[in-house]
Amino acid sequence: MRKKIVAGNWKMNLDYNEGVSLFSEIVNMVKDERKGDQLAVICAPFIHLNSLAKLGGTDVAIGAQNIHNKESGAYTGEISAKMIKSVGVEYVILGHSERRQYQAESDELLAAKTKTALANDLKPIFCIGETLDERNNGSYYEVLKKQLVHGIFSLTEEDFRKVVIAYEPVWAIGTGLTASPEQAQDIHAFIRSEIEANYGFNVADDTTILYGGSCNPTNAASLFAQKDIDGGLIGGASLKSRDFTDIIKALNS
């Protein structure tokens, strides 16, 4: 059975004290709202991870927002999978469109990062999504399929089962424009059918597929009501404890 997850992505926000304070609020609020089979995750900047992992307990898991693809070595300024694992991190976001765009991360690099994450017992939250141009010119199914095939479809079934997929249309990220529940469901069903074609029905049925892109307390329930949407990857709204908790509540409605 697939897990329902609401993951917050703080991106490059919050200094150390602000992060610890927001996280403590979130932990307190989430423990009253989260049902047993649901999971809350906070993906924070590197400087927060060690402290948050100690505060999170069983109610909120911790994720990073990036790792290097190599295990270790002369890569000044980089952080390895083993380093974040050693402080208690469980998840790592890979393939976010902001890194694909601003750091020019290719599908091939992301495939390597995914393998490194898995080799270090981290669960990737692997993001895919189309730009507005690709949505408008109708090439989006092809674009999404390519991101899946080159990014994660060469994984063994055992490894693939540890991956969470996040569909994040680039045109909906931080714009206030959300994919309609029908648009999002259409893509989630497409992603699940591609997984089924590659790994079979049971794997597809067990894979958690999150929606991300201007998801907020007002629109979360209608998105999460769609049969192939298993939760959300939340940017802006994860920076407010009340909003993030209300989005978790929407998993129950």
Ligand X SMILES: O=C[C@H](O)COP(=O)(O)O
What residues are designated binding site for substrate?
A: 9-11, 174, 214, 235-236
Nearer to ligand X, 98 or 199 (CB): 98
SS (H, E, C) 44-101: CCHHHHHHHHHHHCCCEEEEECCCCCCCCCCCCCCCCHHHHHHCCCCEEEECCHHHHH
Structure tokens at 188: 């989630």
Binder among 19, 95, 124, 235 for ligand X (CB under 6 A):
235
Annotated binding residues, written as ranges, equal: 9-11, 174, 214, 235-236
Binder among 147, 207, 208, 214 for ligand X (CB under 6 A):
214
Binder among 64, 173, 220, 251 for ligand X (CB under 6 A):
173
Structure tokens at 132: 């507005």
Among 33, 48, 68, 96, the active-site one is 96
Helix, strand, coil share of the chain (percent; to 5): 50, 15, 35
d(CA 23, CA 159): 30
Binder among 19, 95, 124, 236 for ligand X (CB under 6 A):
236
- The dihedral region occupied by 69, where left means phi > 0, alpha psi between -120 and 50, and beta the remainder, is alpha
Q: Is 215 in the site for ligand X (CB under 6 A)?
A: yes
CB atoms within 10 A of CB 240: 16
Write the binding mask 80 to 109 for ligand X: x where contact by CB under 6 A, - elsewhere: ----------------x-------------
The gap from C-alpha 205 to its chain's centroid, in whole angstroms, comes to 18
Q: Is 66 in the site for ligand X (CB under 6 A)?
A: no
Give 175's DSSP letter.
T
- Least CB distance to ligand X at residue 216 (A): 7
Q: Is 25 a catalytic residue?
A: no
Q: Is 114 in the site for ligand X (CB under 6 A)?
A: no
CB 84 within 8 A of CB 71: no
Q: Is 169 in the site for ligand X (CB under 6 A)?
A: no
From 14-22, 155-163, 194-202, 232-240, give the range in contact with ligand X by CB under 6 A. 232-240
CB 246 within 8 A of CB 5: no
CB 233 within 8 A of CB 166: yes
Binder among 39, 53, 234, 247 for ligand X (CB under 6 A):
234
Binder among 5, 6, 9, 56 for ligand X (CB under 6 A):
9
Q: Is 168 a catalytic residue?
A: yes
Q: Is 124 in the site for ligand X (CB under 6 A)?
A: no
Binding residues for ligand X, per CB under 6 A? 9, 96, 168, 173-174, 212-215, 233-237
Active site residues: 96, 168
